[in-house]
Amino acid sequence: MLVSVCIASYQRPEGLKRLLIELNQLTFSKSEVPEIEVIVVDNDVTGSAREICANIETNFCWMLKYCIESQRGISFARNRAIASVSEYSNFVAFIDDDEVPETNWLDELLSVQKAYQADVVAAPVIPNFIKSDIPTWLAKGEFFEPLRYPTGHPLEIASTNNVLIRAEILRQIEPVFDERFAITGGEDTNLFMRLHLAGYKFVWANDAIVREWIPQSRTNLKWVLQRGYFGWSIHSWCECELYPSIPVITIRIIKGLALIVKGLFLMLPSLFVGQHALIKALLNIYRGVGTLAGIIGIRYQAYKVTHGV
């Protein structure tokens, strides 16, 4: 069995190095040890990740493939990764270059896939703050904490920050990641909505944990609210496009307005609870506005400026 671990990277050499070191420590107890190829796609035309990969390859347990995708954009980088997957690969796993997996990460994904005969297995991404002195409101509000489910819980959506997919599914799609999302992000939301619409089985693996390194630049009110707006606008945009009907659009409008009303309703009592409650009320409003914006195709260009993919 061959598993292809795909990593899209952009100017995060230290994060990529940390990730590759941890991938080198993977252990297997529930599954047979698979063949593993790790595919690093450098979306930086200068090849800033080349040296990191070259230095670690000598002592790397697995096969390591490195290539450059010169066309800027997350969709192009991830499609290049898929194009680099070996033709006999059984599974494709995605993980980001600002994350590190637990040693049993891939073992858990594979064992859950086998137990539930799933087409897609998603798992949690736990925040790891680079600066421990984060704002009090951020800690109390748990704004970075993921939703968690029991292992085997059915899902309707997943994300490329921690997921395992049957490779044969991806071979049937061209392109896998829609290039319209190259600068906006949300290409994974679009992909997994399409896969769910096609009837593929999604399940949750609660113990296949990866940890995301959160920089100080994200531990602020602006970033939290922008992320809320962005995520809900992308979801709304994709849903309206993939399920084009008056009832779906109507439901999205109602959801957007309900979120805004909920946020406004919570504003006053939140003043007596604390700053984190006030920000949660604001986040509902931003999510509601994002939902409405997505209906008419307004999307925030998350990768227009120079950020890591």
pTM of the prediction?
0.92
Instruction: Write out pLDDT tens, residues 264-279.
Output: 999 999 989 999 999 9
What is residue 166's predicted lDDT score, i.e. its pLDDT? 98
What is residue 149's predicted lDDT score, i.e. its pLDDT? 97
Question: In which order are the strands placed within the sheet that holds 35-42?
Answer: 63-68, 35-42, 2-9, 91-95, 162-166, 120-122, 202-204
Q: What is the full DSSP assignment across 166-192?
A: EHHHHTT-SSSS-GGGTTT--HHHHHH
116-146 in b/e burial notation, b at 16+ Cβ within 10 A? bebbbbbbbbebebeeeebeebbeebebbeb
What is residue 302's predicted lDDT score, i.e. its pLDDT? 56
Report which of 190, 129, 199, 192 is spatially closest to residue 163, judged by C-alpha positions.
192
Q: What is the architecture, at CATH level 2, of domain 2-217?
A: Alpha-Beta Complex (3.90)
User: Which residue ranges in the chain fall short of pLDDT 50?
Assistant: 305-309
What is residue 271's predicted lDDT score, i.e. its pLDDT? 87
What is residue 306's predicted lDDT score, i.e. its pLDDT? 45
Give all strands (DSSP E) within 45-183, no chain letters: 63-68, 91-95, 99-101, 120-122, 125-129, 162-166
Q: Determine contact, residues 44/53, Cβ cutoff 8 Å.
A: no
Instruction: Write out pLDDT tens, residues 25-38.
Output: 999 999 999 999 99
Give the C-alpha separation, 96 to 101, whole Å.
10
